[in-house]
């Protein structure tokens, strides 16, 4: 396999709650005012990313996996996940509050939907003043207490609200009730899964006057009802090193503040590497090929690569791989 920084064409998603920041802040080519998500790297059936540059231009991510599995994914990753790409990378713009939701764990998702569960993390790229997230409950509750609040339309009374600013990072376990609030632009890294249990949607209606489906019964056995303070990620921001943010069975994410020229050895990783540019711009080179990435762009480095060169006057990157 030819190892080079592979870019993909973003898969843009109109959402009831979407806005214009993916276009206005991240420079995505969008002609509407309600785009909520840019899927940067996806192998979700029906939404598989297509290469936008270089030797493999026009080929889908799944085609690359099927042809070059171990060289692209890494031997360990391919043994764990077969020919499935294990993570989904997105940028999300919430002009309005997203629905309050949660995701089932692997066991439930496999049993009910033949899917992975959905563990995820969020990195806040920009937030309007006063913007918030919902993450978990503000006290321990029981299934009965939760159901009573849901029935009385007072669910928000028992939820935990977190004010956010640029750089804040959150790790969302399966089962944790959560929602992205209005005014937040973020990078999301998650397991490859589109299984979501929506439990409350503020009684909103779409352009056709319909409310969105809720998953009240499915959610009851999937929710973690315990109040936990395990979601806010603390991390260092040392320049020109990989600062660990999240390490979990599904992905590892590092924060990289690049200034100058960094030679980054990834030979022993046995995994593909992903770089999401969340501020500034940088040149990323491997295999003798250089690609420029700017804020809002993402590249994939095949597992066969041994060294990555990162060059920038000033850039902030999220580095993602399977540990």
Q: Where are the beta strands (DSSP E) in 95-183?
A: 100-102, 120-127, 132-137, 159-163, 169-172, 178-180
pLDDT (0 to 100) of residue 203:
85
**Third-level CATH fold of 11-220:** Jelly Rolls (2.60.120)
Residue spans of the domains in the chain: they are: 11-220, 243-321
User: pLDDT at residue 160 above 80?
Assistant: yes
Report the alpha-carbon angle 174-179-181, nearest 5: 155
What rounded mean pLDDT belongs to the chain? 96
Token pair listed for 27: 């420079």
* Tokens 């095949």, residue located: 302
Of 308, 296, 319, 300, the closest CA to residue 29 belongs to: 296
Domains 11-220 and 243-321 share a fold: yes
* Tokens 């030679």, residue located: 263
Active site (annotated) includes residue 80: no
CA 162 and chain centroid, separation: 19
149: annotated binding-site residue? no
Does the domain formed by 243-321 have CATH 2.60.120.10? yes
Measured from the Cβ of residue 130, the count of other Cβ atoms closer than 10 Å reads 10
178: annotated binding-site residue? yes
**Using the 8-state DSSP alphabet, how is residue 300 labeled?**
E
Task: Report phi then psi at 159, rounded to 5.
Answer: -100, 155
% the chain with pLDDT above 90: 93
254: annotated binding-site residue? no
- 10 Å CB burial of residue 265 (0-12, 13-18, 19+) is exposed
pLDDT (0 to 100) of residue 208:
85
pLDDT (0 to 100) of residue 209:
85
Whether the CB-CB separation of 292 and 315 falls below 8 Å is answered with no
CA–CA separation, 147 vs 163, rounded Å? 26
* Residues contacting 61, CB < 8 A, separation 6+: 8, 41, 42, 43, 48, 49, 50, 51, 85
**Model-level pTM?**
0.95
**Using the 8-state DSSP alphabet, how is residue 259 labeled?**
E
User: pLDDT at residue 101 above 80?
Assistant: yes
Instruction: Point out the catalytic residue in the list 23, 69, 198, 269.
Output: 198
Measured from the Cβ of residue 140, the count of other Cβ atoms closer than 10 Å reads 11
- In tens, the pLDDT along 34-87 reads 999 999 999 999 999 999 999 999 999 999 999 999 999 999 999 999 999 999
Whether the CB-CB separation of 6 and 53 falls below 8 Å is answered with yes
- In tens, the pLDDT along 177-219 reads 999 999 999 999 999 988 999 999 988 887 788 888 999 999 9
pLDDT (0 to 100) of residue 267:
93
User: pLDDT at residue 278 above 80?
Assistant: yes
Whether the CB-CB separation of 36 and 19 falls below 8 Å is answered with yes
* Residues contacting 291, CB < 8 A, separation 6+: 4, 5, 7, 53, 283, 284, 285, 299
pLDDT (0 to 100) of residue 299:
98
pLDDT (0 to 100) of residue 193:
87
């Amino acid at each position: 396999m030819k190892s080079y920084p592979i870019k993909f064409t973003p898969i843009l998603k109109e959402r009831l709650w979407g806005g214009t920041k993916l276009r206005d802040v991240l420079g995505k080519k969008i002609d509407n005012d309600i785009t909520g998500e840019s899927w940067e790297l996806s192998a979700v059936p029906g939404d598989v990313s297509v290469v936008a540059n270089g030797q493999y231009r026009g080929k889908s991510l799944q085609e690359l996996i099927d042809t070059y599995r171990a060289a692209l994914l890494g031997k360990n990753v391919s043994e764990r996940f077969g020919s499935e790409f294990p993570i989904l990378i997105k940028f999300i713009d919430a002009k309005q509050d997203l629905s309050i939701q949660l995701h089932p764990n692997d066991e439930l998702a496999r049993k009910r939907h033949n899917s992975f569960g959905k563990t995820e993390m969020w990195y806040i790229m920009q937030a309007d003043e006063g913007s918030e997230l919902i993450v978990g409950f503000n006290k321990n509750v029981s299934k009965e207490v939760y159901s009573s609040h849901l029935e009385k339309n007072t669910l928000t009374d028992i939820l935990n609200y977190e004010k956010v600013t640029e750089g804040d990072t959150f790790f969302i376990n399966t089962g944790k009730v959560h929602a992205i609030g209005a005014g937040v632009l973020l990078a999301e890294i998650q397991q490859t899964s589109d299984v979501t249990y929506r439990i409350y949607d503020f009684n909103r209606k779409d352009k056709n006057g319909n409310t969105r489906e809720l998953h009240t019964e499915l959610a009851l056995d999937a929710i973690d009802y315990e109040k936990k303070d395990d979601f806010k990620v603390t991390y260092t921001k040392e320049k020109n090193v990989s600062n660990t943010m999240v390490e979990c069975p599904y992905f590892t994410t590092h924060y990289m503040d690049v200034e100058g020229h960094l030679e980054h050895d990834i030979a022993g990783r046995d995994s593909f590497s992903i770089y999401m540019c969340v501020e500034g711009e940088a040149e990323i080179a491997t295999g003798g090929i250089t690609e420029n990435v700017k804020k809002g762009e993402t590249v994939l480095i095949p597992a066969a690569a041994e060294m990555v060169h990162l060059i920038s006057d000033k850039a902030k990157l999220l580095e993602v791989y399977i540990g």
